[in-house]
């Protein structure tokens, strides 16, 4: 570039590059005082047929139902029966008991990996409870609550986590990457946001067949940066697909805060605005708000009024997985000062306010569920744990690459079996 | 040929045969859907889907956003629902934004879910050069596809095969990448770009049954029997090779692979053991091309029958150039030189 091509000399400062930085790092004293906490009855509930442009405010507000005194208020209150509320509480408590036990199993060397959803139980449990049983769920990796809310056998989850001989996925997938078609739970990929366009395709198929079932899909705020997310929203708006998009904004993507997905500039629900999709930003730690928003979006989808994007504003109380230490990148006390509390404590408080629950029953249920998990764990471990013995016949490695095994895989299978025989002897059998 | 002799045939070029395959399958199976950029009302930029939307309706044949990740991702979800999607990627050069959905999702879904979910999808896409398409409308990415475990790769070389193979691909319960050599959509190519194009109507393989028939995937076709050497080719290069071989007067056995994965290794092995020489020809770039795989397989299985090293004739390792297209293309001179070399001893 020659001198004359340049802009005339000015007194503008030089350009500077912005690298997002979370406000608090280990050692800092975090303060969430600036996070807006709107009143529970402050947000009107529009009709499910409302045009997206007429409800943009909901992308920037926060739908809440439960106040911090355990009262359900406002137009969004789904008015669930005490029985239903107790079921919801039970599922969430079961998720937590399961998570604690499986996290510990990983620490005991019984499996390679685990991911808890502590603090985020409502975003999958309450959401699933608001769907019809036939609706198809396309989970990310932290939605074990879907399976639990659909009464999937715990032992099958554990068998998968242990890659043992009861694992119907034959040890092929990393722990927690379940697959449960009979429970409307799509195979977990392990790649991020790839399930987003797939859910749209499922929903398009359902619509084109004149079915009544809808699809619902989850991702984190971090993976909303993936191209697949935007591909999905484009297809969903183009074909008015009956799909619910859940963005679980738990503030953290491993060690990267939500700013690296654009969270410093706008809300994640506001992604819906540019696509002309209905968007709802909700308190993800409020199980009744999650239920109400999902019910609204499901009704909307089922009546051909199109897709909805729900941002669940929540907080990831623990590490991303068993492989990271969150105190290395954020203050340890952040989870405890999160202004929206804990979803289980809040639902418990609500039931107690209604005089439909008490501390004694709560404690009894906690112990009962822990025992259930513990007993099931023992049964599962009888079928083996990862790294202790071989649980799948070797040839299963080559099955299901294709429906029928082509010659080159048959040859490679023969080679591998010969290698194993050389190593273990001819009489070896899986344990 | 697995034709029903009672079935009426019609003279078709490759585009018409491909169109007929989708037409037949849309008619036979209500779960088949065809989608892609410009495929609906307009009928596709190469006319492969012309008339299909009008005949089968908008929910069966429709346009999509310009978003290959979305096209393939949505097709995976449709397959999980129970449909049999046939997405078109307008040019194979455009498939890369959808590659993650193909490699990590479509190809692995059966495996990772132990067949809880499958992906019976056929991705159709025109590929190859010779049409002055420049670097973004001429590529041959077949070896990227064959390197994915869980995807079948099919390349027809004439109208009859195109229809039978496409029907078999659509009926297959695994994902298939169906690469259509666009240079020969309208007529077989001799390799001489300065000669008039011969229409398909003068070629026997343009007699295509109007009804349903299938050609099994994984089976090669011997397009010319011979004793002097075996030439392995597919797509456009089958015709280029045949022209040169007949011009020079070499008794070559030419095998049209038709399916690259799963490969018809028996046909290759039988032929190479008979002739003792093997030339591999493709238009794609040379390094890590499918020819490398073929050469390795031939030397692994036929080494003691070989009388000369396996030779490769390929495109060069450059992006496909626009104005210098014919200097890039593995045409008559490159093939003739390789033939001389491989036959000299």
Report the gap between the CA of A417 and the closest CA in chain B (Å): 19
Ranges under pLDDT 50 in chain B:
1-4
Q: Are residues B205 and B285 in the same domain?
A: no
pLDDT score, position B1 = 45
Considering only the beta carbons, identify the residue of A215, A232, A407 that sits closest to B265.
A407
CATH of the domain at B322: 3.40.50.920
Of the candidates A97, A89, A138, A137, the one whose C-alpha atom is nearest the C-alpha of residue A117 is: A97
Q: Are residues B264 and B288 in the same domain?
A: yes
Element (H, E) at B33: strand B32-36
Handedness of CA B242, B246, B248, B249 (dihedral sign): positive
Report the gap between the CA of B201 and the closest CA in chain A (Å): 36
Q: Are residues A369 and A399 in the same domain?
A: no
Q: Are residues B158 and B24 in the same domain?
A: yes
**Residue A4 pLDDT > 80:** no
* B262 preceded by a cis bond (ω within 30 of 0): yes
Question: Kind of pairing, strands B9-11 and B207-209?
Answer: antiparallel
**Residue A375 pLDDT > 70:** yes
Chain A interface mutation, best of B66, B68, B74, highest count of A Cβ atoms under 10 Å: B74
The residue segments making up the domain with residue A413 are 394-424
Of the candidates B36, B161, B44, B17, the one whose C-alpha atom is nearest the C-alpha of residue B95 is: B36
Report the gap between the CA of B173 and the closest CA in chain A (Å): 7
Of the candidates A241, A356, A252, A347, the one whose C-alpha atom is nearest the C-alpha of residue A290 is: A347
The residue segments making up the domain with residue B35 are 9-209
Q: Are residues B201 and B233 in the same domain?
A: no
Chain B residues whose beta carbon lies within 8 Å of the beta carbon of residue A275:
none
Chain B residues whose beta carbon lies within 8 Å of the beta carbon of residue A232:
70, 73
* Residues of B (61-100) whose Cβ lies below 8 Å from A: 64-65, 67, 69-70, 72-83, 85, 97, 100
Q: Would you call B109 and A181 a contact, using CB atoms and an 8 Å cutoff?
A: no
**Residue A429 pLDDT > 80:** no
Tokens 């509480």 belong to A89
Q: Is B265 an 8 Å CB contact of chain A?
A: yes
Q: d(Cα B300, Cα B313) in Å, to the nearest integer?
A: 20
Report the gap between the CA of B52 and the closest CA in chain A (Å): 17
* A44 preceded by a cis bond (ω within 30 of 0): no
- Let me know: does A308 contact A300? Beta carbons within 8 Å: yes
Q: Are residues A154 and A301 in the same domain?
A: yes
Q: pLDDT band for A10, please (50, 70, 90 cuts).
A: confident
Annotated catalytic sites of B, by residue?
A: 137
Q: Per-residue pLDDT averaged across A335-345, rounded?
A: 96
Could you tell me if residue B252 is inside a domain? yes
Which tokens in the block code for residue A381? 């471990």
Tokens 């008991």 belong to A97
pLDDT tens digits, B15-54: 999 999 999 999 999 999 999 999 999 999 999 999 999 9
Q: d(Cα B86, Cα A240) in Å, to the nearest integer?
A: 21
Q: Are residues B280 and B309 in the same domain?
A: yes
Q: Are residues B204 and B233 in the same domain?
A: no
Could you tell me if residue A8 is inside a domain? no
Q: How many domains does chain B have?
A: 2
Q: d(Cα B120, Cα B172) in Å, to the nearest integer?
A: 6
Q: Are residues A403 and A305 in the same domain?
A: no
- Which comes out higher in pLDDT, residue A253 or A424? A253
Of the candidates A288, A195, A315, A181, the one whose C-alpha atom is nearest the C-alpha of residue A246 is: A195
Could you tell me if residue B139 is inside a domain? yes
Q: Per-residue pLDDT averaged across A69-86, rounded?
A: 97
Q: Are residues A406 and A291 in the same domain?
A: no
Could you tell me if residue A349 is inside a domain? yes
Q: Are residues A89 and A192 in the same domain?
A: yes
Q: Are residues A271 and A340 in the same domain?
A: yes
Could you tell me if residue A43 is inside a domain? no
Q: Are residues A316 and A416 in the same domain?
A: no
pLDDT score, position B3 = 46
Indicate the SS3 state at residue B126. Answer: strand
- Let me know: does B73 contact B41? Beta carbons within 8 Å: no
B162, B186, B209 — which closes off a domain?
B209
Q: pLDDT band for A428, please (50, 70, 90 cuts).
A: confident
Strand partners, B9: B209
Element (H, E) at A145: helix A144-149
Of the candidates A312, A269, A292, the one whose C-alpha atom is nearest the C-alpha of residue A52 is: A269
Chain A residues whose beta carbon lies within 8 Å of the beta carbon of residue B101:
194, 197, 228
CATH of the domain at A127: 3.40.50.970
Q: How many domains does chain A have?
A: 2
Which of left, alpha, beta for A246 (phi over 0: left; psi -120 to 50: alpha)?
A: beta
Chain A residues whose beta carbon lies within 8 Å of the beta carbon of residue B218:
406
Q: Would you call A408 and B149 a contact, using CB atoms and an 8 Å cutoff?
A: no
Q: Per-residue pLDDT averaged across A231-245, rounded?
A: 98
Q: Are residues A86 and A108 in the same domain?
A: yes
**Residue A227 pLDDT > 50:** yes
Q: Per-residue pLDDT averaged across A39-55, rounded?
A: 96
B209, B243, B275 — which closes off a domain?
B209
B209, B235, B260 — which closes off a domain?
B209
DSSP state, B97?
G
Q: Are residues A408 and A346 in the same domain?
A: no
Q: Would you call A235 and B78 a contact, using CB atoms and an 8 Å cutoff?
A: no
Q: Is B113 an 8 Å CB contact of chain A?
A: yes
Which of left, alpha, beta for A109 (phi over 0: left; psi -120 to 50: alpha)?
A: left
Q: What is the ipTM of this complex?
A: 0.96
Which of left, alpha, beta for A353 (phi over 0: left; psi -120 to 50: alpha)?
A: alpha
- Residue of chain A whose alpha carbon sits nearest to that of B84: A205
pLDDT score, position B5 = 52
- Longest distance between any two alpha carbons in chain A, whole Å: 84
Q: Are residues B269 and B242 in the same domain?
A: yes
Handedness of CA B136, B244, B124, B99 (dihedral sign): negative
Q: Are residues B123 and B62 in the same domain?
A: yes
**Residue A333 pLDDT > 80:** yes
Handedness of CA A218, A220, A221, A227 (dihedral sign): negative
Chain B interface mutation, best of A147, A184, A211, A231, highest count of B Cβ atoms under 10 Å: A231
Q: Are residues B123 and B240 in the same domain?
A: no
């Amino acid at each position: 570039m020659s001198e004359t091509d340049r802009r005339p000399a000015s007194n503008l400062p030089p350009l500077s590059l912005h690298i997002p930085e979370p406000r608090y790092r280990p050692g800092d004293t975090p303060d969430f005082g600036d996070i807006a906490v709107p009143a529970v009855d402050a947000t009107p509930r529009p009709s499910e047929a409302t045009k997206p442009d007429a409800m943009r405010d909901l992308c920037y507000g926060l739908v809440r139902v439960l106040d911090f005194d355990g009262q359900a208020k406002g137009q969004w209150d789904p008015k669930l029966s005490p029985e239903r509320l107790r079921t919801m509480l039970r599922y969430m408590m079961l998720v937590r008991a399961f998570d604690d036990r499986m996290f510990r199993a990983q620490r005991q060397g019984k499996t390679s990996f685990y991911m808890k959803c502590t603090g985020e139980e409502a975003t999958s449990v309450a959401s699933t409870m608001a769907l019809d049983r036939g609706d198809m769920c396309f989970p990310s990796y932290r939605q074990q609550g879907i399976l639990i809310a659909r009464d999937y056998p715990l032992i099958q989850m554990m068998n998968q986590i242990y890659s043992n001989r009861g694992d119907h996925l034959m040890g092929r997938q990393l722990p927690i990457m379940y697959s449960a078609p009979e429970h409307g739970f799509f195979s977990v990929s392990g790649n991020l946001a790839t399930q987003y366009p797939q859910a749209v395709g499922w929903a398009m198929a359902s619509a084109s067949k004149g079915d009544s079932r809808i699809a619902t899909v989850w991702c984190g705020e971090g993976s909303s940066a993936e191209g697949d997310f935007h591909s999905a929203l484009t297809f969903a708006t183009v074909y008015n697909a009956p799909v619910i998009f859940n963005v679980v904004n738990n503030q953290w993507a491993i060690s990267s805060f939500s700013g690296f997905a654009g969270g410093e500039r706008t809300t994640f629900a506001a992604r819906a605005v540019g696509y002309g999709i209905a968007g709802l930003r909700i308190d993800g730690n409020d199980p009744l708000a999650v239920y109400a928003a999902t019910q609204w979006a499901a009704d909307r989808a089922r009546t051909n009024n199109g897709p909805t994007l729900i941002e669940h504003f929540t907080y990831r109380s623990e590490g991303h997985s068993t492989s990271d230490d969150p105190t290395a990148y954020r203050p340890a006390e952040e989870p405890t000062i999160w202004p929206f509390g804990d979803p289980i404590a809040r639902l418990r408080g609500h039931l107690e306010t209604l005089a439909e629950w008490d501390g004694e029953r709560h404690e009894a249920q906690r112990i009962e569920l822990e025992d259930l998990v513990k007993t099931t764990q023992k049964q599962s471990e009888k079928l083996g744990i990862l790294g202790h013995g071989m649980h799948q016949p070797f040839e299963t490695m080559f099955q299901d690459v294709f429906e029928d095994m082509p010659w080159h895989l048959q040859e490679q299978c023969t080679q591998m079996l010969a290698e194993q025989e050389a190593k273990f002897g001819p009489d070896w059998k899986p344990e | 040929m697995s034709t029903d002799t009672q079935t009426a045939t019609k003279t078709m070029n490759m585009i018409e045969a491909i169109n007929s395959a989708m037409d037949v399958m849309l008619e036979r199976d209500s779960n088949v859907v065809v989608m892609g950029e410009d495929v609906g009302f307009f009928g596709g930029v190469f006319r492969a889907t012309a008339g299909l939307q009008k005949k089968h309706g908008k929910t069966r044949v429709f346009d999509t956003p310009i978003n290959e990740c979305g096209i393939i991702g949505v097709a995976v979800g449709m397959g999980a629902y129970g449909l049999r999607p046939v997405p078109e990627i307008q040019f194979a050069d455009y498939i890369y934004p959808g590659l993650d959905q193909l490699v990590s999702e479509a190809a692995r879904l059966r495996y990772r879910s132990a067949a809880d979910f499958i992906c019976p999808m056929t991705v159709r896409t025109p590929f190859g050069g010779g049409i002055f398409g420049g670097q973004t409308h001429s590529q041959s990415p077949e070896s990227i596809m064959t390197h994915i475990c869980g995807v079948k790769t099919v390349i027809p070389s004439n109208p009859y095969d195109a229809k039978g193979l496409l029907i078999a691909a659509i009926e297959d319960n695994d994902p298939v990448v169906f690469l259509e050599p666009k240079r020969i959509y309208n007529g077989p190519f001799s390799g001489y770009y300065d000669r008039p194009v011969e229409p398909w109507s003068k070629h026997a393989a343009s007699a295509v049954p109007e009804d349903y028939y299938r050609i099994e995937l994984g089976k090669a076709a011997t397009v010319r029997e011979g004793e002097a050497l075996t030439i392995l080719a597919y797509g456009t290069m089958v015709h280029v090779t045949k022209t040169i071989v007949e011009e020079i007067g070499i008794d070559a056995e030419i095998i049209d692979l038709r399916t690259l994965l799963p490969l018809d290794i028996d046909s290759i092995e039988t032929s190479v053991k008979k002739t003792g020489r093997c030339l591999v020809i493709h238009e794609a770039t040379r390094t890590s091309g499918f020819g490398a795989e073929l050469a390795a397989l031939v030397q692994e299985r036929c080494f003691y029958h070989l009388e000369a090293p396996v030779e490769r004739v390929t495109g060069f390792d450059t992006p496909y150039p626009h104005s210098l297209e014919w200097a890039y293309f593995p045409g008559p001179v490159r093939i003739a030189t390789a033939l001389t070399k491989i036959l000299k001893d």
